[in-house]
Structures are given as structure tokens and as C-alpha cells.
Amino acid sequence: FTVSSRSETKFPFTGQFNSVAYFDNNNELYVGGLINDSQQVWKFSIDGSGNLGAGELYFDYGANYDGVITSLIFASNGELLIGNTGESSIVRIFPSKQHQPFYPGMIKQGTFGITWRDDEIAVVSIKGDDASVNFMDMYDRTRAGIFGF
């Protein structure tokens, strides 16, 4: 959407997106959700005119983990965190494309949102069960190396 002209540009792509993240360092847009019958993350480069380049598969989450992608967020060092409904709750994708569950057992299952506060505090929203409320946990990235960025 261009504010000055109040116009929008559509870029066709087939999939059910649950999450979107922008990585400023490389001017790239990432989308996550059900794509090609699997939970996947796709990457799109953005050119100087604001146009999306051809998308490419960045990470096939469904081939490696259970659950549905619910959120995407980048750390300043280029690591992608994928919030999900699976047992791993958050999966960490390194720029090399290596991946691992993010602090398994520490973060409850059912992450549906992740954000940074002042680039020091991570706020993780977790879905409660049917008889409870949702949870919001805060983790101080500067203490005890919790997030290690």
C-alpha cells in the first residue's frame, strides 16, 4: 500500500499465511503458514521500488517439526524464531539454515506470538487450555544469557 497515492500492489502467491516478518538488514519479507501442503517459511526479496521478487522456500518447518506456524520474528543477528503450536513451541533457525528447538522445556507449548520490547525483553504469548486464560511470559535477554543474541 502506498500512502501518498492510496494505491496497493498485489503479488500473487498461493498459501494460507499465519505470520509475516520483515528482516530490515536484507530488505526481505518472510511469510509462514500452510504452503504446498506443508508448514513452510518462504522468503521474498524487496527491490528499491518496493516490489517483491520471486519467492523461495526458506525453511520447510513441517518436514522437521510438528504443529502449525503461528508467528515469525527475527533477532538482530539474522536468526529467525518460529512460534508454533507444536511441542517445541519456538524453533530457532540460524542464518546457515541449521535449526533447533528454542530452549526446549522452558517455554510452554502453544506459542502464538513473540515480540521484543526495547530489544532486551522478549514477550511470548502462549495459548492456555480450554479451562484457562492465555499467558504472557517475559524473558530478559540481557540476564543469564537466556536468548543469547
Most confident range (mean pLDDT) of 46-50, 59-63, 80-84, 129-133 is 59-63
- Distance, in Å, from the CA atom of 54 to the CA atom of 19, rounded to the nearest integer, reads 18
- Distance, in Å, from the CA atom of 110 to the CA atom of 134, rounded to the nearest integer, reads 10
* Overall average pLDDT of the 72-95 stretch: 88
Alpha helices in 2-109 (DSSP H): none
Which residues have C-beta within 8 Å of that of residue 7, sequence separation ≥ 6? Answer: 1
- Domain architecture of the chain: domains with CATH: 16-140 (2.120.10.30)
pLDDT, tens digit, for every residue of 86-125?
888 889 999 999 999 987 777 777 776 676 665 555 666 6
- Distance, in Å, from the CA atom of 23 to the CA atom of 74, rounded to the nearest integer, reads 7
Calculate the average pLDDT of the chain.
Answer: 79
Q: 21: closest CA among 83, 110, 66? A: 83
pLDDT at residue 138, rounded to an integer = 57
- Distance, in Å, from the CA atom of 84 to the CA atom of 120, rounded to the nearest integer, reads 22
